[in-house]
Amino acid sequence: MNKIYPTNLVRNLTGVTLNQLKYWVRINLVSPGRDGKFSFYSFKDIVKLRVLVALRKKGLSLQKVREGIRNLTKMLPDEEPLSRLVIYTDGMDMIVVEKGKYFSAITRQQYFRFDTEQIRAEIIKLQKTNSFSQKQGMFLGIKK
């Protein structure tokens, strides 16, 4: 049987306020179990709440957080994405890293990661060769 955690412990572990928690339960961002009038939470709920709190503290709107989580759940339905993914935010987007690939959980747009220092070094190397000068001239319409 999975371990269950009472509301007060969950609040201490996640930093969520009671009002936030009640609201997030009401809008189905998190769905605790019930035993009479008491709520209890799973480990997965705690992970989800910690992610929610962290994203909100970084300025990401609740609407975008909900959209991102909904998309991740659709994209990775058989898994628990929040417990294993690396998530970044700039307060406007929710960037996820999965298996070395970067994408927005909100727009589902993929991002490409590359080292600009490596590109700079390659350009400098090419500049030192004649072929770069000739190619540059062709781009500019200059004949030598």
Q: What is the pLDDT of residues 54-90, one digit of tens each?
A: 999 999 999 999 999 989 988 887 667 787 888 999 9
Q: Which CATH number fits domain 1-57: 3.30.830.10, 1.10.1660.10, 2.40.30.10, 3.10.129.10?
A: 1.10.1660.10
The domain ranges of the chain are 1-57, 59-113, 114-144
Report pLDDT for 119. 83
Residue 49: Cβ within 10 Å count:
23
- Are 45 and 11 in contact by the 8 Å Cβ rule? The answer is no
- Report the DSSP beta bridge partners of residue 101: 98
Tens-place pLDDT, residues 3-15: 899 999 999 999 9
Residue among 5, 7, 14 at smallest CA distance from 47: 14
**What's the predicted TM-score (pTM) here?**
0.72
DSSP 40-67: EE-HHHHHHHHHHHHHHHTT--HHHHHH
The pLDDT of 121-127, averaged and rounded, is 82
